[in-house]
Each structure stands twice: as structure tokens, then as C-alpha cells.
Amino acid sequence: MATLELIVSEEVVAGPLVRSRRLGLLFWMAIGWMLFVFAVAILAPVLPLPSPTDMDMLERRAPVSALHWLGTDGLGRDELARLIYGARISLTVGLFAPVIGLAIGGALGILAGYFRGRFETLVVGSMDVLLAFPPLILALAVTAYLGQSILNLTCILGVLGIPAFMRVARAATLTLARREFVIAAQALGATHARILVRELLPNVMLPLLAFFLLGVAVTIVVEGALSFLGLGVPPPISSWGSMIGEGRESLEIAPQLAFIPAMALFLTVLSFNLVGDTLKALTDPRQSAL
């Protein structure tokens, strides 16, 4: 017991020091990769790239060359261009879907955790229903009725993410709403809206943002899986998942066609996970120290 307390107090005292050390090289490499991917994806139209959709039937599955830096795919399209334009799709879906989850799920969670009562029962119940719904069936149904588009895909993945964000927000709010600073704010005559926005939201935002980064990673993977199954973005638009799916057909002749986008996917997801985990580790001990 004595040693345990000693360790805890040391950690509290050395808080800022530990924090800077804990970020480490891996964290900055992850940040670097994320920035690189974002920059390339945003700058894609101005980069000197061949068109990602122009086919060159004479140059099918061409090896690496000065013209095609990463070779060409089964239809003679430039692999690097498709990879970079694919990053745009994967990142768009990967970022905007969790934003939907964060906004709706986060708001519902904070409201449910603060007001409790019947509203909470209703929210938690409906989220359980949503969780019990098989996600692939939902994706199939929506794409079958509304068609395949980036918007539809983002909305499906966003809605599927709402329950998880709701749970994180509600759990954080439940413990916070009982803290004395909330009662102190009430005693000072703060309105419910003020307590929710100014007192609770800044506190709940920390775990939510850390969870958001993990959500981005998961969504990129799920988008890849859906595109691989042909439920994602419609051809000829490329996303990393659809590129892996297309590369699968020529796995014996040209394995790089599946492995290069898989590598990009892997590195990006790993980066988001690393950054998300680091941020979560940073926010957790601070919460407990207070």
C-alpha cells in the first residue's frame, strides 16, 4: 500500500515531465504520416499526377517506371494516382462519418447523462436497438434503395457510430454531473444550458476526442471492407478498399496491386490509433489526479 501511494504521488508531481516523455518518437512519426497523407490527398488536383481513371490497355499491370511511379493496375490506370485519389475518399468518409457520430451521439449522451429519467431510458434503449441491427444489412439496404455514393456511405457509417459515442459521452457525464462543481454552478444560478455547454461539455470533450480518433481508424477499415465487398464508392472512383478488392483478381501476377493500398490503409489506421491512444492516456491520469 505504501509503495503504491508513493508511485501515485510521484506521477502526479512529475506530470508535465512524464507527458512530454510519453509522447515519444512513435507518436510524432504517426503525426508525420497523418500530415503527409492529408497534404497529398488535399493537394492531389495540383500534383503532377496522371489521371486516376484514364486507362492504358497497352500498359496493364506495368511495373514501376518513370511514368508510373507505382506501376499501373489491371486496367492500365496509374496506381499512385489511384492511391492518392483513393486517400481522398477514404479520409473524407473516415473523418466525416465519425463527426456525425460525435455530434449526434455526443449530444444525446450528455443530455441523457445529465437529465437522466425517461429521456435516458429512451436514448439508451434506442441505441441498443441500433447496436443490435446488423451493420452490413443496413449498408446493403441503404445502398440498394438510395444508391452508392460517398454521401450515403458516410451517413451509414456515421449512424452506425452514434451508439458508441453516446455511451462514451453518457458514461463521462454520469460521473461528472455528480461532482460538486455542477452543484456549485446550480447554486450560482446557472441554467441547464449553461451547465451543459460550459461546465460539462469541456470535460466530456476530452474522452470524446480521443475516442473520435479511434473512430476514424475504425471507419477507414470499415469503409475499406464495404468497398472490398462492392458496397462502397461506385467505380471508377477509387478508394483504398476498392483498390484492394480489384487487386485481389490479379494477386498471383501482380500482388503489389493489393498490397500497396493495404499498406497505406494499415499505416494510416495505425497512426490514428497511436495518436488516439496517446491522447486517451494523456487525458485519463489527469482526470483521476483531480
Partner 1 sequence: MSGPALLSVEGVAVDLPTARGNLRAVDGVDLTVGAGRTLGIVGESGCGKTMLSRAILQLLPKKAKLIGRVLFDGQDLVRCSPEALRKLRARSLAVVFQDPMTSLNPVLTIGTQLIETLREHLELDALQAKKRSVELLAAVGIPAPEQRLTQYPHQLSGGMRQRVAIAIALSCEPKLLIADEPTTALDVTIQAQILDLLAREQRRRHMAMILITHDLGVVAGRTDEVAVMYAGRVVERAPTHALFKNMRMPYTEALLSAIPKLDAAPHTPLPAISGRPPDPTRPIKGCSFSPRCRYAAGPCHRDKPQLTGAETPDHQYACFHPILIAAGVTA
Judge contact between 67 and 61, C-beta under 8 A. no
118 in contact with partner 1 (CB under 8 A): no
List the one residue from 73, 120, 199, 223 that touches partner 1 (CB under 8 A).
199
78 in helix, strand or coil? strand
4 in contact with partner 1 (CB under 8 A): no
In angstroms and rounded to an integer, the radius of gyration of the C-alpha atoms of the chain is 23
List the one residue from 46, 189, 193, 252 that touches partner 1 (CB under 8 A).
189
List the one residue from 55, 190, 267, 270 that touches partner 1 (CB under 8 A).
190
Query: In angstroms, what CA-CA distances link 215 with 68, 163, 173?
Result: 34, 12, 20
Whole-number minimum distance, CB 156 to partner 1, in Å?
33
Whole-number minimum distance, CB 15 to partner 1, in Å?
8
Q: Which residue has the cell 472490398?
A: 228
203 in contact with partner 1 (CB under 8 A): yes
Of the candidates 275, 276, 273, 268, which has an alpha carbon nearest to the alpha carbon of residue 34?
268
Of the candidates 148, 133, 134, which has an alpha carbon nearest to the alpha carbon of residue 237?
148
Instruction: Show the DSSP H helices in 62-149 as ranges.
Output: 79-100, 106-115, 117-132, 135-146
58 in contact with partner 1 (CB under 8 A): no
188 in contact with partner 1 (CB under 8 A): yes
183 in contact with partner 1 (CB under 8 A): yes
> Which CB sits closer to partner 1, 3 or 288?
288
173 in contact with partner 1 (CB under 8 A): no
Binding site for partner 1 (CB under 8 A): 116-117, 179-181, 183-184, 186-191, 194, 198-199, 202-203, 206, 286-287, 289-290
